[in-house]
């Protein structure tokens, strides 16, 4: 059920980006392969990669996944954002640099949600 919820939120964000004129590629099962972000959004003026998370509490990301996202960013030159959808809130976007490293991986505290970028800010 969690997979279906995550897929639905990925598709929701994909449609929001398409409505803003982006061509969006959704990497089906990206959480399983570990080699790509969930969405790649392309426009003549902006290109970004997005890892989508729909979660109520603090986010936790595994170290190998974050390392892969950093590699993706360095190799492609595209900024990678963590897009976080909390219940009854709008999407918020965070660059990888704001993730806090822990012993077991990386985290983003739910208190950070209000200061995350809006979709419009992330697309500038």
Q: Are 36 and 72 in contact (CB under 8 A)?
A: yes
* Rg of the chain in Å (alpha carbons): 13
Task: Catalytic residue, from 28, 30, 36, 86: name it.
Answer: 30
Q: Is 30 a catalytic residue?
A: yes
What residues contact 81, with CB distance under 8 A and at least 6 apart?
Answer: 48, 49, 50, 51, 93, 94, 95, 96, 117, 122
Q: Are strands 80-85 and 47-54 parallel, antiparallel or unpaired?
A: parallel
What secondary structure does DSSP assign to 95-111, as a single string?
EGGGPEE-SSEEEE-GG
Among all residues, which ones are annotated catalytic?
30
């Amino acid at each position: 059920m969690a997979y279906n919820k995550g897929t639905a939120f990925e598709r929701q964000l994909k449609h929001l980006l398409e409505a803003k004129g982006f061509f969006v590629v959704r990497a089906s099962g990206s959480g399983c392969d570990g080699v790509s972000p969930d969405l790649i959004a392309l426009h003549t003026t902006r290109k970004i990669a997005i890892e989508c998370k729909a979660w109520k509490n603090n986010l936790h990301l595994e170290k190998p996944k974050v390392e892969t996202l950093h590699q993706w960013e360095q190799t492609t030159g595209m900024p990678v954002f963590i897009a976080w959808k909390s219940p009854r809130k709008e999407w918020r976007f965070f660059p990888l640099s704001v993730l806090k490293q822990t012993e077991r991986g990386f985290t983003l505290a739910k208190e950070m949600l209000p200061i995350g970028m809006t979709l419009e800010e992330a697309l500038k």
